């Protein structure tokens, strides 16, 4: 024993490992890819497929608790680890709900929060029924495995050939993530997008960060601005829903809940991630206790820390070749630079991020 096991070796696992090390705790990262960014900074590593029985057995024996930084961990991997006696947080229910957009929407509505209207789709006929119910424009997504907007197709308002649109959506989803489009959502004309990074400790204590506004480009998060310029009522409602989700899921760890804010200030839940979240990276520099430390605290059974924000912040992802601007960023005062140590800056790949800090309550710059 002695370490926190982390399934997944990307930048989130890397930042979790750094946060653990700062608290005197060790992480043992389990990931299939040899050059995983988290391997540079963890105390122990296993390079193996998620379904390799002997590797899972050794991993379970070597760690005190297991968490994950990637929500597409096969459910069987988590089941196997639980059978081997590992304590896994967040638990199997949260993972199963988050992995399936249909279950996720049913869950959110069942706890009294709202989502976009939706309809399960598996062929042209069900797509037609869904469009009648929801109207246009609408958006087709896969139930599973989507990230960074991949596998999604907008069905525009004007009436094109639906058969062609369906074939195109299937081809795109298959090429991008190897899955089928299977849920139709109403296209929300939102005022802005926000998220709540929340945490629940092993004893049921809850900590919630102030919601940032999130801007996407090509389906990928580009900028998070903390705090979002929304009313106190809207922020409270998003926090209240997040807290309810945490307790209903009997959750331990950090969650990232994404919301659409409507023009009247009401919020719809878009989706949630059962892990630390890109829109919470600003907490590394603008809060005494970051989302990564908060997650490690929860999983290690520590009390949660104070989520208060000491500064306002604007976080920008460095995507693909943008990471080449690191020298310029490094020269700029009040930019906090984070680079993930990935060697291949291919287009769309998250290579690092920078956070600009400002005194609390500073006016926004014109572009923000
Ligand atoms: P990630 O997990 O990386 O956040 P994802 O692939 O799971 O992304 P979503 O969060 O579902 O994708 O969608 C990505 C973005 O596309 C959203 O943040 C939003 O900007 C836009 N979008 C998604 N669904 C809708 C919708 N129903 N109406 C309007 N815009 C949407
Ligand atoms: Mg998602
Ligand atoms: Mg999303």
Atom 5 of ligand 1, residue of closest alpha carbon = 147
In tens, the pLDDT along 167-220 reads 999 999 999 999 999 999 999 999 999 999 999 999 999 999 999 999 999 999
The pLDDT of residue 367 is 53
For residue 47, count CB atoms less than 10 angstroms from its CB and return exposed for 0-12, middle for 13-18, buried for 19 or more.
middle
The pLDDT of residue 1 is 57
- Is the shortest distance between the CB of 279 and ligand 1 below 6 Å? no
CA-closest candidate to residue 216, choices 225, 203, 206: 225
Largest CA distance in the chain: 60
**Which ligand 1 atom is nearest residue 151's CA?**
6
Structural contact between residues 126 and 119, judged by C-beta atoms closer than 8 angstroms: yes
The pLDDT of residue 365 is 66
pTM: 0.97
The pLDDT of residue 58 is 97
Hey, what are 166's tokens?
Answer: 């369906």
Tell me the binding residues: 101, 141, 146-152, 185-188, 193, 216, 270-271
Nearest ligand to the C-alpha of residue 183?
Answer: 1
Ligand 1 pocket mutation, candidates 118, 176, 270, criterion most atoms within 8 A of CB: 270
**Which residue stretches of the chain have pLDDT < 70?**
1, 365-368
- Is the shortest distance between the CB of 187 and ligand 1 below 6 Å? yes
- Is the shortest distance between the CB of 219 and ligand 1 below 6 Å? yes
Domains within the chain, CATH numbers bracketed: 3-88 (3.40.50.20), 117-186 (3.30.1490.20), 192-359 (3.30.470.20)
Residues 184, 191: Cα–Cα separation, whole Å: 21
- Is the shortest distance between the CB of 145 and ligand 1 below 6 Å? no
* Cβ-based neighbours of 122, under 8 Å, separated by 6 or more: 180, 182
The pLDDT of residue 159 is 72
Ligand 1 pocket mutation, candidates 141, 194, 219, criterion most atoms within 8 A of CB: 219
The pLDDT of residue 363 is 84
Structural contact between residues 4 and 300, judged by C-beta atoms closer than 8 angstroms: yes
Prediction ipTM score = 0.99
How do strand 3-7 and strand 63-68 relate by DSSP bridges?
Answer: parallel
The pLDDT of residue 168 is 93
Q: SS3 for 122-169, per residue?
A: CCHHHHHHHHHHHCCCEEEEECCCCCCCCCCEEECCCCCCHHHHHHHH
The pLDDT of residue 366 is 54
């Amino acid at each position: 024993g002695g370490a926190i096991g982390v399934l997944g070796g990307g930048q989130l696992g890397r930042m979790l490992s750094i946060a653990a090390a700062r608290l005197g705790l060790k992480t043992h990262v389990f990931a299939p890819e040899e050059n995983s960014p988290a391997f540079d900074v963890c105390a122990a590593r296993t390079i193996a497929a998620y379904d390799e029985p002997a590797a899972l057995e050794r991993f379970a024996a070597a760690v005190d608790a297991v968490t994950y930084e990637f929500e597409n961990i096969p459910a069987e991997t988590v089941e196997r680890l639980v059978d081997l006696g590992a304590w896994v947080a967040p638990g199997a229910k949260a993972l199963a709900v988050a992995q399936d957009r249909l279950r996720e929407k049913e869950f959110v509505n069942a706890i009294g929060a709202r989502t976009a209207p939706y309809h399960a789709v598996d062929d042209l006929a069900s797509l037609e029924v869904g469009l009648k119910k929801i109207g246009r424009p609408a958006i087709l997504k896969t139930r599973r495995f989507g990230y960074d907007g991949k596998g999604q197709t907008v069905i525009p308002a004007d009436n094109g050939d639906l058969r062609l649109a369906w074939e195109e959506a299937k081809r795109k989803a298959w090429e991008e993530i190897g899955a089928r489009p299977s849920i139709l959502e109403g296209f929300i004309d939102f005022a802005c997008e926000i998220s709540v990074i929340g945490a629940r400790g092993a004893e049921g204590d809850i900590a919630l960060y102030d919601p940032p506004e999130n801007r996407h480009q090509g389906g990928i998060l580009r900028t998070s601005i903390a705090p979002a310029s929304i009313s106190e009522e809207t922020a409270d409602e998003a926090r209240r829903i997040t807290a309810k989700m945490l307790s209903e899921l009997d959750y331990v760890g950090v969650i990232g809940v994404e919301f659409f804010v409507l023009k009247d200030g009401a919020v719809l839940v878009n989706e949630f991630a059962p892990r630390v979240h890109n829109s919470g990276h600003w907490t590394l520099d603008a809060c005494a206790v970051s989302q990564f430390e908060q997650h490690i605290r929860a999983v290690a059974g520590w009390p949660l820390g104070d989520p208060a924000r000491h500064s306002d912040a604007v976080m920008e992802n460095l995507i693909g070749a943008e990471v080449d601007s690191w020298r310029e960023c490094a020269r700029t005062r009040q930019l906090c630079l984070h680079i993930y140590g990935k060697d291949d800056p291919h287009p769309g790949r998250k290579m690092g991020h920078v956070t600009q800090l400002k005194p609390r309550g500073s006016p926004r710059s014109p572009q923000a």
